[in-house]
Amino acid sequence: MLNELLRVEQLASGYHRVPVLNDVSFHVREGEMVAVIGPNGAGKTTLLKTISGLLQPTSGRIFFNGQEISGQPPHTISRLGIAHVPEGGRLFPNMSVMENLLMGAYGNREVLKTGILDELFELFPRLKERRHQLARTLSGGERQMLAIARGMASRPRLLMLDEPSLGLAPVLVDTIYDRLRVLRERGLTILLVEQSVHHALSLADRGYVLENGRIVLEGACAELSRNSHIRQHYLGL
C-alpha cells in the first residue's frame, strides 16, 4: 500500500464571499499521477490555489505526507515539497530562462548542488539552447516547458500542474504530455488539473471529475474513459 502523499478532506474554498469548492475530498498516493478534470469555471484553479496556500479554505483540511498544511502560508507549503505550476505559467518575462529556473529553486538553494539544472536541461533541451534568452521571447510551448521546469527546480515531492495544455496547438500539447510521461515514469507524484480530458485521462492513473465545485465522479482513468457521462460531455464521443 503506497503512502498517501496528499489528502484533501471535505474542502470548501472560494473568494471573498464567493464560495467555489464544496465538500471536495480526494487523495494522491506517492508515485501516482492523478487528474482532476472539469469544465471551465468548475473550480480547478481554485483547488490548486487552496492546496498551495494562496487561498485559505473556509472549511475542511489538507494533509501533506501526514502533516496538516491547511492554514499554512505558500512559502511554508512549497518548502515542504509542493510545487505549483500556475495556469498560463506565470513566468518572469524579463528574466532569462536560467534566472526563471533559479527562481524555482529560490527557497532551497542547496538543491542546485544536486545537479537539478543539468537534469532539467536534459529533459528540456530547448531550454538549454535558450537559457540566456528572456522568457518573454519564448514560444508558447517553450514557456509552458519552462514553467514546468521551474516547478521541478526545487525537486518537489508533489508537482501540481494547472492546465499545461491551455492555449497550445495540439502538436505542442503532445510534446508537453510526452515530457510529463517521462516525469511520471521517473516516479514523480503529479496532480494535474485539465480541461483537455483526452490527454489527462490517457496519462494519469486515476481521475476525479469536478463540476460546479463538487467531485461528481472518480475512478481509474481507463474506467473514466469508458464512462458514458465522460464520453458524451468531455470526449465528444
- Chain residues binding Mg ion by CB under 5 A are 44-45, 87
CA–CA gap between residue 2 and residue 206 (Å, rounded)? 14
84 contacts ligand ADP (rule: CB under 6 A): no
One of 13, 38, 72, 161 touching ligand ADP (CB under 6 A): 38
Q: Which of residues 120-179 bind ligand ADP (CB under 6 A)?
A: none
Q: How far apart are the first and last CA of the chain?
A: 35
Q: Select 46 or 78, whichever has its Cβ closest to ligand ADP.
A: 46
Binding range to ligand ADP, per CB under 6 A, among 43-51, 124-132, 135-143, 226-234 = 43-51
Q: In what order do the strands lie in the sheet with 18-29?
A: 18-29, 4-15, 59-64, 67-68
Q: Select 38 or 127, whichever has its Cβ closest to ligand ADP.
A: 38
In this structure, the number of other CB atoms found within 10 A of the CB of residue 229 comes to: 12
- Please report, for residues 130, 132, 142, 151, the alpha-carbon distance to residue 92 in angstroms, rounded to integers and kept in the order given: 15, 13, 14, 13
CA–CA gap between residue 34 and residue 219 (Å, rounded)? 10
One of 7, 13, 37, 45 touching ligand ADP (CB under 6 A): 45
One of 8, 11, 20, 127 touching ligand ADP (CB under 6 A): 20
One of 8, 28, 35, 42 touching ligand ADP (CB under 6 A): 42
Q: Select 32 or 87, whichever has its Cβ closest to Mg ion.
A: 87
CB crowding 46-73: b at 16 or more within 10 Å, else e: bbbbbbbbebebeebebbbbeeebbebe
Q: CB of 90: closest distance to Mg ion in angstroms? A: 12
- Interface with ligand ADP (CB under 6 A): 15, 18, 20, 38, 40-46
